[in-house]
Amino acid sequence: MATSILRILCVALLGKEASGVNVAIPLIAPSTAPRVSPSLFSFSIEQDRWTDWAGSTSRNQFLFNTLDNLARLTGAPPDIRIGANSEDHTKFKAAIQTTQSSLLGMRFIRQLNFFHLTLTLYGFVQEWTYFATNISAAMGISSTSHTKFWGVAFAGAQSSHSLTGWSPQSAFKEGLLNSAAGSLISTVSQHHYSGSFCSGNAGLLQDLMTKSTIRANLSLYLPDIAATRGRGLDYVLGETNSYSCHGAPGVSNSADAALWRLDYALYATQIGISKVFFHQGVGFKYNHIQPATLTRSTADGSDLPWPLPPHVQPAYYGAIT
Ligand SMILES: *[C@@H]1O[C@H](CO)[C@@H](O)[C@H](O)[C@H]1NC(C)=O
Ligand SMILES: *[C@@H]1O[C@H](CO)[C@@H](O)[C@H](O)[C@H]1NC(C)=O
């Protein structure tokens, strides 16, 4: 195979002098190389904040421009999944539909939550099938429609990665794909954060950035991905980011977090995850885009001396690299 040799200068870690390192880079991608989706960096958006993102009466031009920029660079806009915690307490308002349709012809994923704590996985599959049957009838979702279902979308707790407990493979065993509605599932989604900032302890930047932990956080899902792909379905991380509860200050909103998500998303493609939906709200530390004017500090919630207009955060640069 033809190769080119890149001579990269780097400072030897132990010595004081610069030394040369030869790195061979193939000119042609190996035939086994995975295809990277132009929408690899997609977004998951907190449902109660969706109108701040999209605009409620007219299009949010700042959002449109930042997404249009991504679309021009990659060839396709990010997909948008609307859901998360706030889907439990939002109400459908038909009038809001128009601003969505003016956003770049994007693909949207709407999430419905009917999880309750007492539900067993068998009960979950029964309930999912009941609702999905009605939804597919009401919305004309069929084997020939463009719109399909995402299944599983288990949040929070880690997957059991096995045939017992909560996992895609368990859901398949309980018959998730066997009904008419279940046969309309095209994609399995799972949610993952590298850590949590919910209880106030700072996540450490060096922990987030360690290559082996970045990869170990994703390799956890190898059995789930294999089971899903084995059924001919697509596999995505439908909600993910660095530290849950909106990110850790000085970590999730740093330039390093841009590098973190680049490695995270590209490694995801190597193990069969086709898209990574980075979770976003308004004022969250790990946002790629702050789509609305902020009046409170993203770091500590204190009042800002003056309003901060819409802007992009370091993470956005991970998506455009
Ligand atoms: C689902 O559809 C069935 C049959 O059409 C109907 O009886 C039932 O009320 C529907 N359930 C909901 C929650 O809409
Ligand atoms: C995931 O990453 C975090 C740091 O961000 C690390 O503390 C944790 O141990 C990693 N998880 C695994 C399974 O490696």
Q: What is the pLDDT of residues 253-295, one digit of tens each?
A: 888 888 999 999 999 999 999 999 999 988 888 899 999 999 9
pLDDT of 113 > 90? The answer is no
pLDDT value at 115 more than 70: no
Split at pLDDT 50, 70, 90, the class of 119 is: confident
Domain for residue 180, yes or no? yes
* Choice among 4-18, 102-116, 271-285 with the minimum mean pLDDT: 4-18
Average pLDDT, integer, range 12-20 = 57
Residue nearest to atom 13 of ligand 2 (CA): 217
Structure-model confidence comparison of residues 115 and 256, the more confident one? 256
| Ligand nearest to the Cα of 127, by number | 1
Distance CA 245, CA 110 (A): 21
- pLDDT value of residue 95: 62
Q: Whose CA is nearest to atom 12 of ligand 2?
A: 217
> Is 245 buried (19+), middle (13-18) or exposed (0-12) by CB count in 10 A?
middle
Pocket (CB within 6 angstroms of ligand 2): 194-195, 207-208, 213, 216-217, 220
The answer to whether residue 2 sits within a structural domain is: no
- Domain presence at residue 205: yes
- Is the CB of residue 201 less than 8 Å from the CB of residue 191? no
**How many whole angstroms from 49 Cα to the centroid of ligand 2?**
29
Nearest atom in ligand 2 to the alpha carbon of residue 242 is 5
The pLDDT score that the predictor gives to residue 201 is 61
Where in the sequence is the domain holding 300, given as residue range(s)?
37-320
What's phi and psi for 6, nearest 5 deg?
Answer: -100, 130
Cα 44 to middle of ligand 2, angstroms = 21
- Of 115, 111, 98, 120, nearest to 51 by C-alpha is 98
Rounded Cα distance between 295 and 111, Å, is 29
The residues, ordered by sequence, that sit 6+ positions from 65 with a Cβ below 8 Å of its Cβ are none
Residue whose Cα lies nearest atom 9 of ligand 2: it is 213
Report DSSP state, residue 179: S
The domain that contains 202 carries what CATH number? 3.20.20.80
| Atom nearest to 207 CA in ligand 2 | 4
What residue owns the CA closest to ligand 2's atom 7? 207
User: Domain count of the chain?
Assistant: 1
CB neighbours of 22 closer than 8 A, spacing ≥ 6? Answer: 5, 6, 7
Please report, as a single letter, which amino acid is at residue 175: G
Which tens digits make up the pLDDT trace of 171-202?
A: 999 999 999 999 999 999 999 998 887 766 65
Q: Indicate whether 106 belongs to any domain.
A: yes
- Beta-strand relationship, 294-296 and 108-110: unpaired
User: Given ligand 2 and candidates 207, 211, 240, which is best to mutate, with the most ligand atoms within 8 Å of its CB?
Assistant: 207
CA of 215 to the centre of ligand 2 (A): 9
- Ligand showing the shortest atom-to-Cα distance for residue 192: 2
| 206 alpha carbon, closest ligand | 2
Ligand with the closest atom to the CA of 131: 1
**Which of the two residues, 311 and 156, has the higher pLDDT score?**
311
> What's the rounded mean pLDDT across residues 287-309?
91
Tell me what the pLDDT averaged over the chain comes to: 84
Question: Does 117 or 297 have the greater pLDDT score?
Answer: 297
Residue with the smallest CA separation from ligand 2 atom 2 is 194
Q: Is residue 2 over pLDDT 60? A: no
Reading the block at residue 286, the tokens are: 């790990």
Residue 28 covered by a domain: no
Residue 12 resides in a domain: no
- Which tens digit of pLDDT belongs to each residue from 213-226? 999 999 999 999 99
Q: Is residue 42 part of a domain?
A: yes
Cα dist from 255 to 74, 163, 274, 304, 314, whole Å: 21, 40, 24, 22, 5
For residue 111, pLDDT over 90 is answered with: no
Q: 18-67 pLDDT, tens per residue?
A: 678 899 888 998 888 898 999 999 999 987 788 888 887 888 999 999 99
Classify residue 25: in a domain, yes or no: no
Among 115-124, 230-239, 278-287, top mean pLDDT goes to 230-239
